[in-house]
Amino acid sequence: MHNPAIGRTRAPLAAAGRPRKRSLAAELVLHLIVAAGALIMVAPFVWMVLSSLKDLSQVFLIPPKWIPDPWVFGNFKRSWEALPFDRAYFNSFYINIIVVTAQLVTCSMAAYAFAKVRFPLREPLFVLFLATMMIPGQVTIIPLYLIMKQIGWLDSHLAIIVPSALFNAFGVFLLRQFMKSVPSELEEAAIVDGANRWTLYWRIMLPLVQPALAALGIFTFLGMWNNFFGPLIFLNTPEKFTVPLLLNLFRGMYITDWTLMMAGSSIAVVPVLIVYLLGQRYIIEGVTLTGIKG
Q: Is 18 part of any domain?
A: yes
Instruction: Please tell me whether residues 95 and 211 are part of one structural domain.
Output: yes
Same domain, 164 and 270: yes
Give the other-Cβ count within 10 Å of 42's Cβ.
10
Inside any domain, residue 50: no
User: Can you give the pLDDT at residue 183?
Assistant: 86
175 is a domain residue: yes
pLDDT of residue 22: 62
Residue 178 domain-assigned (yes or no): yes
Asked whether the beta carbons of 78 and 263 are under 8 A apart, the reply is: yes
The verdict on 123 and 244 lying in the same domain is yes
Residue 224: how many other CB atoms lie within 10 Å: 22
Residue 101, Cβ neighbours under 10 Å: how many? 13
Q: Do residues 32 and 166 both lie within one domain?
A: no
- Residue 277 and residue 167 share a domain: yes
Q: What local confidence, expressed as pLDDT, does residue 65 receive?
A: 81
Query: For residue 134, is it within any domain?
Result: yes
149 and 270 fall within a common domain: yes
Same domain? For 115 and 203 the reply is yes
Residue 164: give its domain's CATH number.
Answer: 1.10.3720.10
Q: Which domain holds residue 20?
A: 4-41
Nearest Cα to 126, choosing from 78, 84, 200, 176?
A: 176
The answer as to whether 255 is a domain residue is yes
Q: Residue 276's CB: how many other CB atoms inside 10 A?
A: 14
33 and 150 fall within a common domain: no
- Residues 206 and 203: their CA atoms lie apart, in Å, by 6
CA distances from 177 to 99, 108, 281 (A): 22, 11, 19
- What is the model's pTM? 0.79
pLDDT score, position 292: 47
Domain shared by 36 and 88, yes or no: no
Q: Walk along the chain (294 residues) and give the pLDDT tens digit of each residue.
A: 455 554 554 545 444 455 555 688 888 888 899 999 989 988 888 888 888 888 888 888 888 788 888 888 888 888 888 888 889 999 999 999 999 999 999 999 999 999 988 889 889 999 998 898 888 888 889 999 999 999 999 999 999 999 888 888 899 998 998 898 888 888 888 888 888 888 889 988 988 888 889 889 988 998 999 999 999 999 998 889 999 998 888 876 556 778 888 888 888 888 888 887 887 777 666 556 554 444
Residue 70 included in any domain: no
Answer yes or no: do 112 and 229 share one domain: yes
Give dist(CA 221, CA 151) in Å, integer.
27
Residue at 17 is within a domain: yes
What does the pLDDT read at residue 286? Answer: 58
Q: How many domains does the chain have?
A: 2
What is d(CA 288, CA 215) in angstroms, rounded to the nearest whole number? 10
86 and 224 co-located in one domain: yes
Are residues 122 and 215 located together in one domain of the fold?
Answer: yes
Is 104 in contact with 218 (CB distance < 8 Å)?
Answer: no
Phi/psi at 156 (nearest 5 deg)?
Answer: -135, 145
Q: How far is Cα 231 from Cα 211, in angstroms, rounded to an integer? A: 30
| Separation of alpha carbons 92 and 170, rounded Å | 22
